[in-house]
Amino acid sequence: MKKLLIFDVENVLITPFRHHHSYFMNAIAHALSPGAVQDELAGKQKYKNKEPGYKTYADWTRETIYMHQKHKLTKTLLDQVINRAEYRDGVEKFFEHLDRDKYIPILNSGTCQELIGRMVVDLGIPCDDTFSAFKYGFNKNGQIERDLLIINARSPKGTHEFIQIALRKYGLNDNDWIYVHNGYENERAKSAPVSICVNPDAEISNKWEHSYGNFFDLINSDKKFGFYSDKKNPKIEYKEPSCFEEAQELVDIRLGSIAENIDKLESEAFERVLSKKRNNDIRGYVSMADFSGTKNLLSWGELVLVLGKKNMPDNMFPAALLSPFSNAIEVMINVCLAHIGNYSTLEKLIEKNKNEEKYILDHLGNDVLQTAIINYKYMRNMSAHTSSEVTIDVANAFIKRTYELVQRLELIIAEHNSALSR
């Protein structure tokens, strides 16, 4: 049985910036200006104090990006900062020889997808096996555009949610994961079946059963875990679909083991709504199209992406062509509401009255679902009701977030059904 091998990025894989605990935000601020450094420190303090506009991590992230925009951060400068980041000792060799038949590496960062994007290439990790807090939205001139930002509001469940998503994607059990961190206690370090501390500060190195000075030490002491393989891992190759059947295969790969479950969940959701309709528990017209077709929409979206990339003027992609992905999330939201919603939310859903959106959000009784829907609404604004154009980089980030949201919604239903069966 394989296991997930979950890595924090900053201060574990990447060397911290100067005397700071992390690399990314501090390095950007110093690359911009002394004023940006002061604004960065002030923003951190506001978040620490939970001041208005800084109540959540997503709030702080958004305000920090706006600050970067104010100080004229460009894509060129961002790339320079990312390329200057240095890997910890032994990181590249560790991933080059990691036994992928035993372990599935998963990266998690509280900062941007761009930083992880470098590691996807350098360390040979599929992009779908990485999780980040946000993705900058740069326009074709390399400047930040607020409407193109993709921010992943943290679930009330905390960062453990992405671990559950990855476990379900690969069909693994709840304890089939190992967490690699820098020794500072957090919820993952405490709850992980196995915690491995790498690059710890001297005063905390003795707190952990498995503690290593660097990744070379971890490789040399490998008998406990069997991470090392003599063969080098090949570069990851991506094949674009050329027909609908190949697009369907790609969707199944990206969704993993939950792909088959989605069809079943859609069918059950529609039957539940029909049952309430027959009993006059809810009013309104019920359409199967509102509760089916998630995977087909994703498949068409993948094909549209390929077609758009081949015919993109000036390397730009119409945001409206991302609508199949938005529609896929909407169907899954409907399916999720049908599985866990009460009669009133189901009725409001069927009425399709835009004025009832707030009612549904306020009466869900499920904070995790509420966060997922709010995440979707931010994304939907990019792909609907405008003639905006986005870079292919932004389009790919939008699509990646789509799959994450579908997986989050499937997890919500699974946990709801599990609670009912206890």
pLDDT in tens, 18-37: 655 566 888 999 999 999 99
Q: What are phi and psi of 98, to 5 degrees?
A: -60, 130
Per-residue pLDDT band at 116 (split at 50, 70, 90): very high
Give the model's pLDDT for residue 385.
Answer: 64
Give the model's pLDDT for residue 130.
Answer: 94
Among 21-25, 82-86, 365-369, the range with the most confident prediction by mean pLDDT is 82-86
Nearest to 407 by CA among 216, 247, 254: 254
CATH architecture of 3-224: 3-Layer(aba) Sandwich (3.40)
Q: Which residue has the higher pLDDT, 190 or 324?
A: 324
Q: What are phi and psi of 381, to 5 degrees?
A: -60, -25
Query: 10 is written with which tokens?
Result: 């900053």
Q: Which residue has the higher pLDDT, 28 or 58?
A: 28
Per-residue pLDDT band at 10 (split at 50, 70, 90): confident
Q: Answer whether residue 5 shows pLDDT above 70.
A: yes
Q: Answer whether residue 145 shows pLDDT above 70.
A: yes
Q: Answer whether residue 375 shows pLDDT above 90.
A: no
| Least-confidence region, from 58-72, 105-119, 338-352 | 338-352
pLDDT in tens, 280-335: 766 667 788 889 999 999 999 999 888 887 777 777 888 888 999 999 999 999 89
pLDDT, average across residues 105-122: 91
Give the model's pLDDT for residue 300.
Answer: 96
- Residue entry with tokens 């980030």: 397
Domain boundaries, the chain: 3-224, 244-421
- State how far the Cα of 171 lies from the Cα of 376, in Å rounded to an integer: 26
Per-residue pLDDT band at 363 (split at 50, 70, 90): low
Give the pairing of strands 389-391 and 316-318. Answer: antiparallel
Q: Answer whether residue 360 shows pLDDT above 70.
A: no
Nearest to 389 by CA among 138, 190, 211: 138
Give the model's pLDDT for residue 156.
Answer: 57
